[in-house]
A and B are shown apart, each in its own frame.
Chain A
Amino acid sequence: MEFAPKRDCYQTGVKDIVMSLCKMKIILSHAIFAFMLICMSACVVGKSKHIVGEPFNEARIKGIQRAETTKQEILTWFGPPVAIARQGEIMTFPPPGPTKEGYKEVRSETFFELFSAKHAIIESHIIYYYYYPEIKGTFVESLPGGSSKKRLVVSKLWILINDTTGIVEDHLLRKEE
C-alpha cells in the first residue's frame, strides 16, 4: 500500500519531464520559425538599387533645348544642382556613392573641358552639375548577411549656361561606373 503513491509520484515525474521536453521542442521550433520569418522579411533580392534622390527624368533631359531653355526652367525641372562650376574655381561637393562621407574637391576646368571643343568659354559661363548614383547588379540582402555582385553606376548631367543671358547653351549626359 505504501508503494502505490510512490510509483504514482515517479510516473507523474517522468510524465512531467516528457511534457516539458515536448513543450520546449514546440517553443524551440516556433522560435526557429519566427527567426526564419524575420530573416526572410528582411531579405531583399534585386537587380538594381537606387541610393539617393530621384532618377533623371529622361523626357526632361530631352526637353533641354540649346539657346532656348532657361536657367529657371532647369532649376524647376531638376531642382538644385550638386555643384555649380565657374571658371578658375575649385568646386566642393559630396561625392556620389553609398557612403556620401565628406566632400570632394574638383577643379572647375575639368567640367569646362567637356564643352571647350564646341564652345568658346567666357567668364559668364557656368555649369550646373547633377548626378544620380545607382547600384546595379544582382544582390541579396538579409539580416545575417548578404551576397551581391554589384557595381556603382553614376548618371552625370552637365548643363552649360550663360549666366548673363540665363540661357542654356549645351548639355551632356553620361553614365560612368
Chain B
Amino acid sequence: MKKAVLLSMAIALFSLLLGCLETVRHFERDEELELERLNWGKIAILPFTGIPAFQRVSAELFSFHMCKQKHFVIIEPAIAEIELKKQRIELSKIQIKIEQAQKAGQILGVDAVIVGSVTIKKGEFPNLGRLVAGVSLTNVSTGKVVATSICSVPIQRVYGEHKVLQEATEGVANDILSILYELAGETWNSPQKGIVTKQE
C-alpha cells in the first residue's frame, strides 16, 4: 500500500517536472475571418518589443522564417524601422498597440502587419524560467487582429538563451506561416516536432 502511494507520488512529481520543461504553443485565430476574401500582397514585420537583448535578434529570426514562403512580400523589421523613422514615427520598445501597428502599416503601404514581443517569465527554480515569444497578425484595412501565437520555451542554461530564442521564434513563425499558406490556398507543414500545441 505504502509502495503504491510512493509510486503515485513519484509519477505525479515526474509529470509536474515534465510539465515545467515542455514547450507550450498557444495559437488563436479569428474564426469568422474569410481568408479567401483577403487579397494580401505585402506584409510588414515591425520591430519586436520586450527584453532589449533579444528584441532585434528575435525579430530577425522571425523574419528569417517568414521569408521562407514566397507568396507574400515581406518587409523586414529593420527596413520597416528605417522607413518609419523617415516619417518621424518612433515605435514603442515596450508595447505596440493595435492602432499604432495599423498606422505603421498604412504608412508602409502594406496589407498586414506583424507585431511581436519577447519576454522572460521567471521560474520558481533558480536559473529556470521560460522565454515567451508572442506575435499578432493585424489586418491594416480593418485594424482587426487576425491571429495571435504565443510560444513559451523553458530556459535551460546548458543550451544558452539564444537556442531557446530560436525555438520560440520558430514556433510562432510556424503558426503565422500556417495562416499565410492558407491564404495562398496551400497547407503549411510545420517542420517542428515534439511540441505541445494548444489551439483555440
Contact = CB atoms under 8 A, between A and B. Distances in A.
A75 interface: yes
Size category of the binding interface on chain B? 20 to 34
A42 to B, nearest CB: 18
B162 A79 contact: yes
Q: Is the interface of A mostly helix, strand, loop or mixed?
A: loop
Contacts of B166: 79-80
Given A92-B52, A92-B53, A80 B162 contact: yes
A164 B76 CA distance: 9
Given A163-B78, A164-B79, A83 B57 contact: yes
Interface string B72-107: 000010110010000000000000000000000000
Interface stretch (B11-19, B27-35, B60-68): B60-68
Main secondary structure of the interface of B (DSSP, over half): helix
A84 B162 contact: no
Contacts of B53: 83, 92-94, 103
Interface string A50-81: 00110000000000000000011001000111
A53 B156 CA distance: 12
Nearest to B61: A80
B165 interface: yes
Interface in A78-111: 79-84, 86, 92-94, 100, 103
A176 interface: no
A148 interface: no
B60 A80 contact: yes
Interface of B: 52-53, 56-57, 60-61, 64, 67, 76, 78-79, 82, 157-158, 160-163, 165-166
Interface of A: 52-53, 71-72, 75, 79-84, 86, 92-94, 100, 103, 123-124, 126, 163-164
